[in-house]
Each structure stands twice: as C-alpha cells, then as structure tokens.
Homo-oligomer: A and B are copies of this chain.
Amino acid sequence: MRIITISREFGSGGRELGKRMADLLHFDYYDREIIGAVARGRGLNEYYAEHILENHGWQNFPLTFRSSFHTLDPRQREKVEFLLEERRVVEEIAALGKDCVIVGRNADVILRDKNPLRLFVCATESAKLRRCRERAPEDERLSDKGMLRKMREIDKNRAIARGILCGEPWGDRQSYHLIVNTSDWDIKQLAASLAEFALCRFGGEK
C-alpha cells in the first residue's frame, strides 16, 4: 500500500495538486470525503463539520489538554472529539489497504507507521491571494485584507490541531519529505513531476 499525505497552507493549491496526483497515479483520493464521513457519523451536516474544524474557536485551546480533558468547555470538547473521530476515519481508510492520496486531516501524523510520502504545499501570500481570488464565488469575495486574515486564521487553526495531535510544529521542514512552493509553477505540470517523484520513492512497493 502506498500512501501520499498532503499538508498545505490555505490557498496554496495543495488540494488541486493532490487530486491531480491521485488521478495520474490511479490512487484513491480523500479530502472533504473524510470530513463528510465524520459528519455523517455524527449526524452533522458537512458544512457544519468543516466549520467546526477550520474556523474560530481554537485560539483559546489549552495546549495541555491531554492531561486536562475534563477541564475543556463543551465546545472545546466537541472539537477534540471531532479530531478523534476524524482520526478513526483516517485509520479506517488506511485499513482498506489501497494506494491513496490524503489531503489534510493530519494524515501524515496519524498514519506515520504506514510510512507515507509526506508532502507539504505552500505558496507566497500574493500567490495564494491570486488563487483564492480566481476561485472564490463572486458573492463571497472578501477584500484582500479580509482574505489574508482568513488564510492566516485557517492556517493557524491547522497548526494548533496538529500541535494537539502530535506536538510537532506544522509546516516544519523536519516533518515532511518534501515541501513544495507552488508560487512559480503550473499546478498541472507540478502534479505530473511529483507523481513521477512519488513513483521513484515507492519503487517496486505495492
């Protein structure tokens, strides 16, 4: 089984990159699907699940929660339960034993013993802003300042969630095989190069 995990800064194109790599490699692809499964398992709708994990409210999270789960307020406890549920789903996916690309969800940490190829995708703020502008529906357009604030907040929340799971800093070069900066690249071409690269990494492994 070959697993590629993709962690990414919001707006860096990590999701598109992962989807394209999965298509090229004929690997299964997981991303919002995981969130969806978690949400359905908890009887929540998908939007709410996304909202819980990527938006407000992590900031005041006690980083020592491991030893003080009972001190969390109900909303915080809901988040931790959500992370744990999500972890179970990621483990279930891995247990299927099929080659796959998993975007986000701290899969690199959760599946460390499966030795995944761990990618982190980043870009400059101007490149991410451009990308978000191109993709945001007309009626959801924020100002540049608002968009940057949203980006930073989402990334900060991702960093906090990672910290809770494994204590390692998010986006640190020691934690990934490859950090790819998409700012100067065509994502389609980059996906093809990285797919080749991944095949080299996995060699004859199946």
Instruction: Give A residues with C-beta under 8 Å from B.
Output: 120, 122, 124, 171, 173-174, 176-181, 184-185, 189, 192-194, 196-197, 200-201, 203
Copies in the complex: 2
State in angstroms the CA–CA spacing of A77 and B120 once bound together: 40
Contact partner of A174 among B120, B181, B196, CB < 8 A? B181
State in angstroms the CA–CA spacing of A124 and B168 once bound together: 13
Pairwise interchain contact A178-B178, C-beta atoms closer than 8 A? yes
State in angstroms the CA–CA spacing of A194 and B181 once bound together: 15
A-B pairs, 10 with minimum CB distance: A179-B179, A193-B200, A193-B197, A173-B179, A122-B173, A177-B181, A124-B174, A197-B197, A196-B196, A178-B180
Pairwise interchain contact A181-B189, C-beta atoms closer than 8 A? no
Smallest CB-CB separation from A124: which chain B residue?
B174
Residues of B within 8 A of A181 (CB): 173-174, 176-178
Smallest CB-CB separation from A115: which chain B residue?
B184
